[in-house]
Amino acid sequence: MTAFQYRDGDLHAEDVSLSALTETIGTPFYCYASGAIEGAYTAMAAALSGLPAEICYALKANGNLAVVRTLAKLGAGADVVSEGEMRIALAAGVPAGKIVFAGVGKTAEEMAAGLNEGIQQFNVESLPEMETLSRVAVSLGRRAPIALRVNPDVDARTHAKISTGQAENKFGIDLDQIQDAVKLAMDLPGLSLEGLAVHIGSQLTELTPFRAAFEKLTALYRDLHGQGIPLRRLDFGGGLGIGYDGAAAPDLAAYAAIVRDCTAGLPAELVFEPGRFLVGDAGVLISRVLYVKQGTARRFVIIDAAMNDLIRPAMYDATHGFLPLRAPAPGTAEEAVDIVGPICESSDTFTRQRNLPPVAAGDLLAISSSGAYGAVMSSTYNGRRLVPEVLVRGGDRALVRARPSYAAMLAEMTLPDWLEQDQGARGAA
């Protein structure tokens, strides 16, 4: 969170005062710092220097067009899991030849779209998917470049809802099915088997699971290569976590050392698909305190951001930091509070019994490390408008997604003819 610092007691995103932004944007809103995005990408590229590595940003972390464009200008490819994400990546300037299409449920229409655009590869996750992709490719007179996503049965030691590499998960092809998958890939006329892929989960802060997965993947690659299978690419997926609320982040140099150990002597191009690592610490969610409510045993700070704006605490029991936009005076005593949103759900709680400097109605708070899986997972639950997004770079700022009007929200819905008819006339009939 180094992009967000106090200056004269006022929290800034790079050179932009967040308090000043609220005067024109209103609350709640997301703010992303370009420098933090660029710094994370540069750090990862430097750690992997000397390797035949390509970094494909995982759009599922944050699909804002301006964020993707920021990374595309640095040379990033894209990891997408839908045609919509692919369209965003292309619109942001990512070359089709640097796009990897992942996901367990690609439709035939999405496959055709990827083939027509000429993407780099499809990461296939089941034998039925391979058969469908081959049929689509043959119908278009093409061969689909694929990598088999392997399920290595490795415990990622992360939250159960974002663990993807164990045998009971829906993702990937089990190791004992890989030989059948390879044979099918070689037999199907519409496929070109080019690599192997793995992704064991998200928000990993321990590196041991990476080593376990990479060792299994590279051993399989060596075995298949020795059988004469013309593989050329290894996709190590993403999963690198960040240090939420001051927790320790994974050691990037140590991660790169594991990659070097596992791939030593291998004739393979390497693909990495970081998402959260590149954008998580680059964003904050700015919210205003509506009320401070004293209960019998607890004190509640009710803010205007809600679980529909940032669902991670409700869905994953995730922990974020909270910073007042005006720095408290040195030595200010803190008090334990529950920070909650206005939605009619008990799960609309951001944190419980968090020590916070005293706040009052009208005060502003920044929810830190909100650049990943924040706005991209937001919804209009309770009839709430989607949160606007702002990108800053130095002293410049730009509204990169506007808050929709209520008229625009209503315009997305239509009434059937029978409800458009005059209700009085229907009653008389």
Sheet with strand 10-13: strands edge to edge: 4-7, 10-13, 16-17
Q: Over 50: is that where the pLDDT of 300 sits?
A: yes
Mean pLDDT of 8-37: 97
Phi/psi zone of residue 246: left (φ > 0), alpha (ψ -120 to 50 degrees), beta?
left
Using pLDDT thresholds of 50, 70 and 90, give the confidence band for residue 170.
low
Q: Over 50: is that where the pLDDT of 245 sits?
A: yes
Write phi, then psi, for 169 (nearest 5 degrees).
-80, 160
pLDDT at 165: 41
pLDDT at 155: 58
SS3 79: strand
What is the average pLDDT value for the chain, to the nearest integer? 92
Query: Which pTM was predicted?
Result: 0.93
Mean pLDDT of 397-401: 98
Domains and CATH numbers, the chain: 4-31+283-411 (2.40.37.10), 33-279 (3.20.20.10)
Mean pLDDT of 65-80: 98
Q: Is the peptide bond before 342 cis (omega within 30 degrees of 0)?
A: no
Q: Over 80: is that where the pLDDT of 171 sits?
A: no
Q: What is the pLDDT of residues 26-50, one digit of tens each?
A: 999 999 999 999 999 999 999 999 9
Question: Can 31 be counted among the known catalytic residues?
Answer: no
pLDDT at 333: 94
Using pLDDT thresholds of 50, 70 and 90, give the confidence band for residue 172.
confident
3-state helix, strand, coil in the chain (%, to 5): 35, 25, 40
Query: Mind giving me the DSSP string for 293-316?
Result: EE-SS-EEEEES--TTT--HHHHH
Mean pLDDT of 211-232: 92
Catalytic hit among 31, 56, 262, 344: 344
Q: What is the pLDDT of residues 332-360, one digit of tens each?
A: 999 999 999 999 999 999 999 999 999 99
What ranges make up the beta strands (E) of 133-180? Answer: 144-151, 173-174
pLDDT at 159: 43
Q: Over 90: is that where the pLDDT of 368 sits?
A: yes
Q: What is the pLDDT of residues 97-121, one digit of tens each?
A: 999 999 999 999 999 999 999 999 9
Q: Over 50: is that where the pLDDT of 54 sits?
A: yes
pLDDT at 154: 73
Any idea what the Cα angle at residue 9 is, between residues 6 and 12, rounded to 5°? 35
Mean pLDDT of 175-197: 94
How many other CB atoms are found less than 10 A from the CB of residue 286? Answer: 29
List Cα–Cα distances, 375 to 30, 90, 135, 275, in angstroms. 7, 20, 36, 14
pLDDT at 169: 67
DSSP at 240: B
pLDDT at 424: 53
Q: Over 90: is that where the pLDDT of 308 sits?
A: yes
Using pLDDT thresholds of 50, 70 and 90, give the confidence band for residue 168.
low
> By mean pLDDT, which of 64-68, 99-103, 120-124, 161-165 is the weakest?
161-165
Q: Over 60: is that where the pLDDT of 387 sits?
A: yes
Mean pLDDT of 116-144: 97
Using pLDDT thresholds of 50, 70 and 90, give the confidence band for residue 1.
low
Mean pLDDT of 407-429: 78
| Signed CA dihedral, 165, 240, 62, 83: sign only | negative
Q: Over 60: is that where the pLDDT of 429 sits?
A: no
Using pLDDT thresholds of 50, 70 and 90, give the confidence band for residue 249.
confident
